[in-house]
Every structure is written in structure tokens, then in C-alpha cells.
Amino acid sequence: GSGVLISPEGYIATNNHVIENASEIQVVLYDRRAFKAELLGQDPATDIALLKVEADSLPFVALGNSDNSQIGEWVLAVGYPYSMNTTVTAGIISAKGRSIGIIGRSLSQNPASALPATAIESFIQTDAAINPGNSGGALVNMNGELIGINTAIASLTGSYAGYGFAVPVNLAKKILDDLKEFGSVKRGILGVAFPSPAVEDQYFQQQGMDPSTIKGVFITGIQKGSAADEAGLKEGDIIQRVDSVQLFTSAEFS
């Protein structure tokens, strides 16, 4: 697997599935220095984990703003695929807010590791080549800023087939900050239910609705006594914005 140094003090972001169930974790840098790493925390719901190595003045990547990234923008994927040492591939952002159900499948296959929170997927999709071993590596923009943590591929063969997926850095940053401070992720619960991002178009069609007319997140249920209930949200409402950010799909809302 791969990882990303996010501070000179040795904090490293990676995927949860890279280190899950490991009894010992070793980090090897591009200059062959090796360190024993401490696992500070992990979040199966977003497939993010935070490691720490005891070192100073390490090279690190600056965090960008994944909300500002654009479809068609050039990006680089950096990682360690197939044990081929450090490798960089180039491509574009081909979609944003993707949900492919891969985290949900991993949680159901390993329920002992699952958190009470449901899986959260709002991937950046890229055609930069991502292969087994790239997991946990950096997706960077042309300014060299980290905009995503490479996490998954969509492939019938298990190898690169044109689609790779990265956790947006704006989502990962909240997770990493919580893991650093608390060792676990602190989440608020709004108390709304909505169609699964992977099947929401099918849901609308089954309900006799045209998906193109739903400009936002369609609420299918409200938890009694929740913040949403107290705020007056009702089943059938459509959440169109969070602050000033326009929503089109439930994946963006997640």
C-alpha cells in the first residue's frame, strides 16, 4: 500500500484497508529510510487511517481544496503499485461525487470493524492509472497540492481499466483531524434518510419520478427527535443547498 506525509512531524494519511488487522506497520520513504509507524486511528466508514512515525523535518504535501477542483482538470496519482517503487501517473478528473458502494461492501464483509456510522462515499473519479498498491497514495493537482487519497478502482480484472477513485481531501481532512485529536471520528447526526447514492436514479424511477427533476437530496424519512425533526424537515423534502453549496446528488450531501 501507499501513504501520504501530511506534516513534517511524521503524520501520514492512508487507507484503512491498507493497515486493517496489521500487527505491525512499517513505513518506507522514497529514499529507503524505514520507520516503525504507530496507528493513531482509523475510520472504516470513509476508509481513512492516520499513522505517525518518529521523525522531524520530513518532506510533506500541502493540502489543497478538493471542492474547487474541476472536471477535466489535470491530476497526478502518486503511489507504490505492484511493488514497483514510487510511481507517478497522469490523467484528468473525470467525475466528482461518485459513489460505487465499495466501502459498504467491505463493511458488510467485515462487520467486526464497522463503525455505527454508515459508509460515506463521494469519490473523485480519475483516469490517472491507479492499480493495486496505489491505495492510500496521493492525488495531486498541477500546483502539487493534495486533493485526494487514492482508494479504489473499478475493474473486471482487478487491474487498471480507466477508472480510479480518491477520497476528497476536504472529507479526509475532517477525518484526519479527528483521528489526530481524539483517536476516533466525531460525527453529528442530522437524522434524515435518503436513497443510496448508487441507486438513487432507480429509486426515483420506481417511485414514478423523473430523476432530472430532483435538484438536490430527496428525503425519504426523518428520525423522530433528531435535529432534522426539530428543524421541521419532512419526508419528501428536497435539500438543495448546504450553506452556499448547491447539491445535486446524495453522494455530495454525504
Q: Which of 209, 188, 189 lies closest to 200, judged by CA?
A: 209
Q: Which of 17, 99, 122, 250 is catalytic?
A: 17
Q: In what order do the strands lie in the sheet with 25-28?
A: 4-5, 11-15, 48-52, 34-43, 25-28
Q: Give yes or no for a contact between 101 and 121, defined as CB atoms under 8 angstroms apart.
A: yes
SS (H, E, C) 70-87: CCCCEEEEEECHHHCCCE
- Active site includes 17? yes
Q: Give yes or no for a contact between 165 and 98, defined as CB atoms under 8 angstroms apart.
A: yes
Residue 198 burial (10 A CB sphere; 0-12, 13-18, 19+): middle
What is the grid cell recorded at 156? 473486471
DSSP code of residue 140? E
Q: Which residues contact 167 (CB under 8 A, 6 or more apart)?
A: 46, 47, 48, 123, 124, 148, 149, 151
CA distances for 87 relative to 18, 130, 145, angstroms: 18, 10, 17
Q: Which of 99, 108, 107, 111 lies closest to 167, judged by CA?
A: 99
Q: Which of 2, 43, 47, 127 is catalytic?
A: 47
Q: Which of 66, 135, 250, 254 is catalytic?
A: 135
Residues recognised as catalytic = 17, 47, 135
